[in-house]
Amino acid sequence: MSIERAKKIKVILFDVDGVLTDGTIWLFPAPASGPRSTDSDAQKHAGLSGYAIHSQNMIEAKGFHAHDGTAVSLARLGGLKSGLVTKRISETVALRARDLNIDFVIQGAANKSEALDQIMANSGISAEAIAFVGDDVIDLPIMRRCGLAIAVANARPQVAEIAHYHTPSRGGQGAARDAVEYILKAQGTLERVIEAYIQAKTSL
């Protein structure tokens, strides 16, 4: 059962586009002057479709849901580590990850199964104790190996088919929050964690 799987989870990983966002990628003209991307990974993948915008005249932007940001805080209070594993490379994602103090951030991951190996090696945590939230076929290799595979409500059929749990919300509209709360509820910590989050915010 998915609840039994959820009880074992110590790390929750998210895809970005289509999970933490609704999948929309905004491209804006860059100002005539100002800072330019110097990210080495973006430079390495420059010119390869689907990885990064590395341009002197374009800026990539994404929209994130506040409920999903809270989900990362709840996960941390519940003793879970969090991470992002995405094929694309974006300074916006790096900024969001720093803002939320996310533990594992892997961008430019064409093979997400290899990213899982990297996270397991760095954390000492087995695949059985790792959850992954995905939406598209590039997520299948990592979802097949994780202890808990979670599909967002609007995931592609192939992803929904193998998932152990399906979020009520669509990607970018609170799906990450659904996933975190499902795990914490299965572990019997959700209500305590919510109260701890409220206390932390009201004491500031």
Domains defined along the chain, listed by start: 2-23+63-202 (3.40.50.1000)
pLDDT tens for each residue of 131-176? 999 999 999 999 999 999 999 999 999 999 999 999 999 999 999 9
Distance CA 85, CA 47 (A): 21
The mean-pLDDT minimum among 85-94, 123-132, 145-154 falls in 85-94
Q: Which tokens in the block code for residue 75?
A: 């996960």
Q: Which tokens in the block code for residue 185?
A: 């509820």
Asked whether the predicted pLDDT for residue 32 surpasses 70, the reply is no
Q: Helical H runs in the chain?
A: 2-7, 40-44, 66-77, 91-100, 112-123, 140-145, 157-162, 175-186, 190-202
Q: Which pLDDT value is given to residue 38?
A: 47
| Distance, C-alpha 87 to centroid of its chain | 11
Query: Positive or negative, the Cα torsion across 90, 16, 121, 46?
Result: negative
User: Can you give the pTM of this predicted structure?
Assistant: 0.87
CB count in 10 Å sphere of residue 91: 18
Q: What is the residue-averaged pLDDT of the chain? A: 90
- Judged on CB neighbours under 10 Å (0-12, 13-18, 19+), 102 is buried
Percent of all residues in the chain with a pLDDT value above 70, rounded to a whole number: 87
End-to-end alpha-carbon separation of the chain, Å? 40
